[in-house]
């Protein structure tokens, strides 16, 4: 990535490290971030900032991690609203009644890979360990969103569906929607085999986004698939920001499913509108 065009950076606050798009928080009056492994209390393969309740880690440690991560971002951990990810593209429109869902009270929804809201003070969170994190903000209508999309969600058009939902629910205009393609597995590390290739090749427009590595493997850029769906929704190129961060390459900083398998923690991608 061109250093001069760097759009994403790593920050430390209160001994917690997280990533964020440069200048977004101040300019757009939001708070957002992508957690790293640094700053939590979990041990072993979860060391140390594991935010995934389904990971097999101890619940009290995960809660403590949420408290520390939230403190670093300056959000209220008790207000968090957590996704319920199943690699599909359902999006929940979050309101006050959802506050604390998945963190201090049970979720009243299932199968949610994307969250949007226009209510200030509600931090929305999705979870990641290679699947792309997608951040959305419409600073005019004051709408924020976050989504989880691995290859299934990517090809099902999650990136575009989030923008579409912001338009239909809140009247957002494409030219006012900014999207951050956050950390996720990069083309450098995402090798797919025939099983995935066979499911992708039914979308001929995307086969061009695959490069053949050998007889059995192809290299896939999820970022370019997301970008394509965003453009179909009319999001201007200049409104699409890229972290350029590969979760698999960032060995010391990030968990990666491809690199670590099931023995690992999860990162959270969080966004909140400020009042």
Interface residues toward Zn ion, by CB under 5 A? 186, 188-189, 246, 248-249
Min dist CB 226 to Zn ion, Å, is: 16
In this complex, which beta carbon is closest to Zn ion, that of residue 167 or of residue 264? 264
In this complex, which beta carbon is closest to Zn ion, that of residue 147 or of residue 246? 246
In this complex, which beta carbon is closest to Zn ion, that of residue 174 or of residue 189? 189
Min dist CB 81 to Zn ion, Å, is: 30
Min dist CB 233 to Zn ion, Å, is: 27
Please spell the DSSP secondary structure of 169-201, one letter per residue: HH---GGGEEEEE-SB--TTT-EE-HHHHHHHT
Separation between Cα atoms, residue 78 and residue 102, nearest integer Å: 10
Min dist CB 185 to Zn ion, Å, is: 7
Q: How many residues are present in the chain?
A: 275
In this complex, which beta carbon is closest to Zn ion, that of residue 19 or of residue 186? 186
Tell me the sheet residues that pair with 105. 101
In this complex, which beta carbon is closest to Zn ion, that of residue 153 or of residue 186? 186
Separation between Cα atoms, residue 135 and residue 270, nearest integer Å: 8
Strands (E), 22-123: 30-35, 81-82, 91-93, 114-117
Separation between Cα atoms, residue 34 and residue 82, nearest integer Å: 14
Min dist CB 140 to Zn ion, Å, is: 35
Strands 218-220 and 191-192 turn out to be antiparallel
Separation between Cα atoms, residue 212 and residue 194, nearest integer Å: 11
Min dist CB 130 to Zn ion, Å, is: 10
In this complex, which beta carbon is closest to Zn ion, that of residue 75 or of residue 220? 220
């Amino acid at each position: 990535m061109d250093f001069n065009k760097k759009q994403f950076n790593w920050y430390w606050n209160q001994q917690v490290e997280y990533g964020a798009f440069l200048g977004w928080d101040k300019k757009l009056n939001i708070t957002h971030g992508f957690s790293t492994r640094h700053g939590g209390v979990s041990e072993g393969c979860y060391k140390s900032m594991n935010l995934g309740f389904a990971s097999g880690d101890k619940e009290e440690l995960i809660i403590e991690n949420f408290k520390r991560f939230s403190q670093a971002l300056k959000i209220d951990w008790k207000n968090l609203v957590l996704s319920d990810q199943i690699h599909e593209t359902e999006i929940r429109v979050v309101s006050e009644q959802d506050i604390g869902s998945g963190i201090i009270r049970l979720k009243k929804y299932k199968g949610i890979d994307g969250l949007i809201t226009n209510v200030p003070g509600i931090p929305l969170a999705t979870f990641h360990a290679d699947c792309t994190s997608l951040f959305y903000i419409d600073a005019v209508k004051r709408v924020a969103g976050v989504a989880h999309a691995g290859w299934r969600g990517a090809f099902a058009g999650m990136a575009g569906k989030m923008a579409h939902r912001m338009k239909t629910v809140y009247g957002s205009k494409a030219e006012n929607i900014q999207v951050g393609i956050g950390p996720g597995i990069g083309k450098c590390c995402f090798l797919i085999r025939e099983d995935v290739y066979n499911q992708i090749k039914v979308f001929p427009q995307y086969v061009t986004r695959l490069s053949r590595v050998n007889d059995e493997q192809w290299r896939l850029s999820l970022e370019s698939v997301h970008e394509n769906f965003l453009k179909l929704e009319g999001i201007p190129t200049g409104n699409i920001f890229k972290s350029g961060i590969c979760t698999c390459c960032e060995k010391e900083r990030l968990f990666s499913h491809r690199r670590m398998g099931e023995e690992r923690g999860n990162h959270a991608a969080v966004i909140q509108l400020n009042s």
